Amino acid sequence: MKVLVTGASGQLGVDTVAILKRKGHTVLGCDRSQLDIIDLEQCQQVIGQFHPDVVVHCAAYTAVDAAETDVDGAYLVNATGSRNIAVAAEAVQAKVVYISTDYVFNGLGNTPYHEYDNTDPQGIYGKSKRAGEVLTQSLCSRYFIVRTSWVYGMHGNNFVKTMLKLGQEKPQLKVVHDQKGSPTYTVDLANFISELMLTEKYGIYHASNSDSCTWYEFTGEIFAQAKEILGASITAKIEPCTTADFPRPAPRPANSVMEHLSIRTNGFEDIRSWQDGLKAFLEEYKNGIK
């Protein structure tokens, strides 16, 4: 298939392009210099010329805290930009895979969110990503909305890389223990996307590594596996703290856990556990630093 990937230089975009090429697809990976999604005419030109079967829309405004004051900027990329991609893709009858987020929920629930629970984003980032979902649903006849959470991979900055660095530099670290979610390894997410896009099983999907943890528990597992796999000298002792101990401009969901209802009901194999995903990442990380 011919696949166009937006946000191709981001941590999910890089792995998505690589995996799709490895699976034999013809891929056009576009970063902002090649495709500025806020420019409708450019979207129509690039997508019209390449004429993809699928557009995987990874490009997004993801600066959660900055979005609280840069409201126009967040909506320009996440809403208007997504509309532009949707319009251009529909013109060539391409399927659209829109990458969304756990932030479309309020995070106040006690149980995992499934795909058809009511959304209630609390911050500008979540609201703008929800706007992108709505526009994609309204303007595309063939769409997959893929919500994910706590994403990390080899390309770009993320929580795992930060903890690996701090764990070897600091004597003590305070890590939040009252936010719960599902860490997601970009390679596992990209593999799921590559499988999903081949089908006509359109709709909303929650796609993360399986099971859940708090940031504190995640850090503990990162340190344990880093010692075993990387032989890392972890000096930091971790101490649990609350979200209130680290006030931020944008609200953080206390519960980001998403149930994989659509993966099950559409007959897909569920994504492996977050512990196994982390192990695979650290193996990749080990090979990358040799």
229 located within any domain? no
What per-residue confidence (pLDDT) applies to 268? 98
Average pLDDT of the segment spanning 7-21: 97
Alpha-carbon distance of 236 to 245, in angstroms, equals: 19
Question: pLDDT tens-digit profile of 188-218?
Answer: 999 999 999 999 999 999 999 999 999 999 9
228 found inside a domain:
no
Going by pLDDT thresholds of 50, 70 and 90, the confidence category of residue 47 is: very high
**Is it the case that residue 290 has pLDDT exceeding 80?**
no
CATH of the domain at 120: 3.40.50.720
Active site residues: 125
Q: How many domains does the chain have?
A: 1
Q: Is residue 33 part of a domain?
A: yes
Flag whether 288 is in a domain.
Answer: no
19 found inside a domain: yes
Of 44-48, 115-119, 156-160, 284-288, the poorest mean pLDDT is in 284-288
Q: For residue 54, what are the domain limits?
A: 2-158+182-211+257-272
Residue 281's SS3 state is: helix
User: In the chain, which residue ranges form alpha helices assigned H by DSSP?
Assistant: 11-22, 40-50, 71-75, 82-91, 124-139, 159-167, 186-196, 215-225, 261-265, 274-288
- Residues 90-102: tens digit of each pLDDT: 999 999 999 999 9
**Is there a domain that residue 13 lies in?**
yes
pLDDT band at 246 (very low <50, low <70, confident <90, very high): confident
Instruction: Please choose, from the candidates 197, 93, 77, 204, the residue with its C-alpha nearest in 3D space to the C-alpha of residue 140.
Output: 93
Residue 289 has pLDDT above 70, yes or no: no
Whether 227 has a pLDDT exceeding 80, the answer reads yes
Is residue 168 a part of any domain in this protein? no
Tell me what pLDDT residue 36 has.
Answer: 97
Q: Is residue 289 part of a domain?
A: no
